[in-house]
Structure 1
Amino acid sequence: MSCVYLLRHGQASFEADDYDALSGTGEQQAYRTGADLARRGITFNKVVCGGMQRHGQTLTQLQKGYGAALPAAPVNRDWNEIDHHNVLGVFDERLATAASMRQYLMTQPEPEKAFLNVFTQAVHRWQSGKYNDDYAESWCNFRRRVLKALEATFVELEKGEQALVVTSGGPIALVLSSLMQLPEQNWFSLNWTLVNTGITKILRTGGRFMVSSVNEHQHLDTPASRSMITYK
């Protein structure tokens, strides 16, 4: 049996022009993740990092908290998040960039509710498969590349070995919904429940994948750090 730890990145800078960068809270979350893994004596034979800036920054802070050397981490862009600006921008051009989206949301009486509403509609359009040519990456291609990344990660592991993968909520939710055979439309709502630096563990034995745990975040669920539990 081998095991892959899927780690969602730390909190990104949602309200900044560059979302693809950790916030101060995100850096602390990642550091605490590393410290908690070290405290529990968890080791990894392989480490893989998605190709986004927030993935690399999360791994850097995690290593600081871990306090010991980790295996060199090759970048695998198949673990990248969906291009949410593309998905949103195709649905409504006012949402194509961080600046234009922020400007649009400022006109809404309930910005957070308005964002969730338009994002949900945009994702449903993307997932429908009716407009694949409109997007930089179709839902089917996103699904295919993430499952390919999961397979590629396990191929590198011998029996009894463990890997750490730093990725995003979208790929983790895709793996979960696929392995648990959930309806595809549940992927988006599942994605919203994943905590920044939460860990989901996937096992493989005899060629079969199994979900061992979902969204572990005990490193944040303490009186001193509960305020750092975030979802963006």
Structure 2
Amino acid sequence: MSEILLIRHGQASFGTADYDRLSPLGHEQAGALGAALARHGLVPDALFIGTQRRHRETLEGLAPALGLDPARAENLPGLDEFDTDGLMAAHFAKTGAPEGLNRDRRAHFRALRDSVQAWQRDAIADPPERWSDFEARVRAALERLAGCGAGRVLAVSSGGPIARIVTEVLEAPAAQMIRLQLQTRNCAVTRLVVGRSGLYLLGFNELPHVTAVGDDRLVTYS
């Protein structure tokens, strides 16, 4: 039996020209999470990350407390987030994007929810990635994590792939993915157990670093 720790990246740079980098708070979250995992003895035997900058920076932030070398991590494109901006642009190509989409988090998340639901119904013309292709690459990443043979695996990813993995493990309808995704907090830990008969969900959206210090400042969603 082995365990998979799925880590969502720290707070990224919402509303800036380059979302794909951690904010100062995101770096703080990553360091705090690494210290919390170390206190609980959750040192991984294998490391995986997506190919996006925010994944690498999160791993680099949590690695020192765990005595890990980030260079050991294997890159898995299946852990990358889907192109949220491209998907919403395709969804609203004819009607125009809602007001405040790139400035207001609530407006952004509502538009993202609607876009993902349309995407899953194959109701968006020319999306940057087909829903079926996203499902396939996330599934391939999960198979690699579950089959790598390590006792404990740590993988840094994004809200979309993590939510898709959870819905698959629970055999839940695909429509549940976006609901889980919008709940997933930065640097949250989702835990899976790899057993003889398959994968099981042990914990979802946990914040051991916040629980330890009681600092609600570290609770963010984007």
Give the alignment's TM-score, normalised by structure 1. Answer: 0.87
Counterpart of 1:59?
Answer: 59
Q: Which residue does 1:178 correspond to in 2?
A: 168
Percent identity (aligned): 29
Q: Which amino acid is 1:69 matched to?
A: L
What does residue range 78-227 of structure 1 map to in structure 2 within 5 Å? 78-93=78-93, 104-105=99-100, 111-131=104-124, 134-158=126-150, 161-222=151-212, 224-227=214-217
- Structure 2 counterpart SS, 1:85: helix
Offset at 1:70?
A: 4.2
Give 1:118 deviation, angstroms.
Answer: 2.1
Alpha-carbon separation, structure 1, partners of 2:6 and 2:198: 17
Q: By how many angstroms is 1:95 displaced?
A: 11
Q: Could you report, residue by residue, the CA deviation over 1:108-156 in whole angstroms, capped at 9, with x for unpaired residues?
A: 9xx444323322222221111244x611211111111111101111211
8 Å contact from structure 2 (residues 12, 23) kept in 1: yes
Q: Is the 8 A contact 2:184 2:205 kept in 1?
A: yes
Identify if the C-alpha distance between structure 1 residues 113 and 221 changes in structure 2 by more than 3 Å, giving closer, same or farther: same
CA distance in 1, matches of 2:217, 2:186: 12
Work out the CA distance in 2 between the residues paired with 1:145 and 1:106.
28
Q: 1:11-90 to 2 correspondence within 5 Å?
A: 11-66=11-66, 68-70=67-69, 72-90=72-90
Partners of 2:109 and 2:156 lie apart in 1 by 25
Amino acid at match of 1:76: L
Q: How many Å separate the matches in 2 of 1:107 and 1:37?
A: 34
Structure 2, gaps ≥5 residues long: none
Report the Cα distance in structure 2 between the residues aligned to 1:130 and 1:139, rounded to whole angstroms. Answer: 10
Q: How far off its partner does 1:93 sit?
A: 4.4
Are the counterparts in 1 of residues 9 and 158 from structure 2 also a CA contact under 8 Å?
yes
1:81 Cα deviation after fit: 0.5
- Which region of structure 1 is more displaced relative to structure 2, 41-50 or 115-124? 115-124
Q: TM-score, normalised by structure 2?
A: 0.91
- Segments ≥4 residues shifted beyond 6 Å: none
Following the alignment from structure 1 to structure 2, what is the Cα–Cα distance between the partners of residues 107 and 75? 29
Distance 1:106 1:83 in 2: 15
Q: Against the structure 1 CA distance between its residues 94 and 14, is the aligned structure 2 distance closer, same or farther, given a 3 Å change threshold?
A: farther
What's the CA shift for 1:222? 4.9
Kindly report the root-mean-square deviation, in angstroms, between the aligned alpha carbons of the 2 structures: 2.4
Question: Would the aligned equivalents of 1:85 and 1:95 in 2 still touch at CA under 8 Å?
Answer: no
Q: Indicate if the aligned counterparts of 1:89 and 1:95 stay in contact, CA closer than 8 A.
A: no
Code of the aligned partner of 1:164? L
Aligned residue type for 1:134: D
Aligned length in residues = 221
Instruction: Return the alpha-carbon distance in structure 2 between the equivalents of residues 63 and 22 of structure 1.
Output: 15
1: CA distance between counterparts of 2:37 and 2:94?
42
Unaligned runs of 5+ in 1: none
Q: Kindly tell me: are residues 104 and 65 of structure 1, through their superposed partners in 2, closer, same or farther at Cα, counting changes over 3 Å?
A: farther
User: Is 1:228 aligned with 2:207?
Assistant: no
